[in-house]
Amino acid sequence: MLLRCAVLDDFQNVATTIADWSPLRDRVEVTSFTEHLADEDELAAALADFDIVVTLRERVPFPASLLDRLPRLRLIVASGMRNSVIDYAAAERGGVTVSGTQSFPTPPVELTWALLLGLARGLVTEHNTLRANGPWQSTVGADLHGRRLGLLGLGRIGGRVARVGLAFGMEVTAWSPHLTKERTDEAGVELATSKEELLASADYVSLHLVLGDTTRGLLGAAELSLMKPTAYLINTSRSALVDQDALLTVVREGRIAGAAVDVFDTEPLPADHPMRTAPRLLTTPHLGYVSDLNYRTYYTQAVENIEAHLAGTPLRRLG
């Protein structure tokens, strides 16, 4: 009898075609879910008859309460090599192996700059106005050259964002809870004396931090109030780094020039969510990692992980 594999959150319906699944054809039946399963009861019912689950990023939590309801499950493959929403101890107790895949930092870097430039030059406004036969030129773009880019985080992604900022002729400063001057010197950027100093001085603030105890809620109402009224905020990292209600308040009141957000507290974003319609807010549906390179890697390595699991030699184990 064939084993059954569920591929979750295949929104573009490409998971089974962007990689070669033929090595599993005689052993595994693959089912793609193109709609998000958000409710634990819904997940438990949908996945009850599956032996393998391939899950995308950290969109679907696998707590002990769900794992206990999936006695047939033996393997979870998560894209990326870090996943904070899987209960690894519960998975081990239930005999479930958890593995990951490689994930490249360049796609979120590229999206960060797409969003930053879109904000600075009013691209969405001008595009919509042009298509509607509205006024010819209605905005005055903000400059990048000579302006200050403040990076909260200077790791694999933040460091690459910094290099692009320097290429634009920007002054780049960075801060994170454990960032050292050695690291900022290596990257050719300035170490901010504090988070508050960075926020108060930057013309553009971009977040590139791992979510944890020291970074959750990093920017709340008090921190956002420090930003210049002409400054922009970009978050392609993790939603919980920024208080969503506080961000909505500052963009609605025009206390910052604008913000671009690719990550949300609830994903997919509910149809009536205020972030869909707030002024001065450029939003994308968590596209940071969504690129041909990453998707080919995720699903090619998912096939490899499943093959290794069937051979009793698991690859890229997490937890």
- Active site (annotated) includes residue 307: no
Instruction: From the candidates 110, 171, 267, 304, give the one annotated as an active-site residue.
Output: 267
Instruction: From the candidates 160, 208, 238, 309, give the one annotated as an active-site residue.
Output: 238
The rounded Cα 294 to chain-centroid distance in angstroms is 13
Structure tokens at 93: 């107790």
- Active site (annotated) includes residue 29: no
Instruction: From the candidates 74, 208, 286, 309, give the one annotated as an active-site residue.
Output: 286
- Active site (annotated) includes residue 286: yes
Active site amino acids: 238, 267, 286
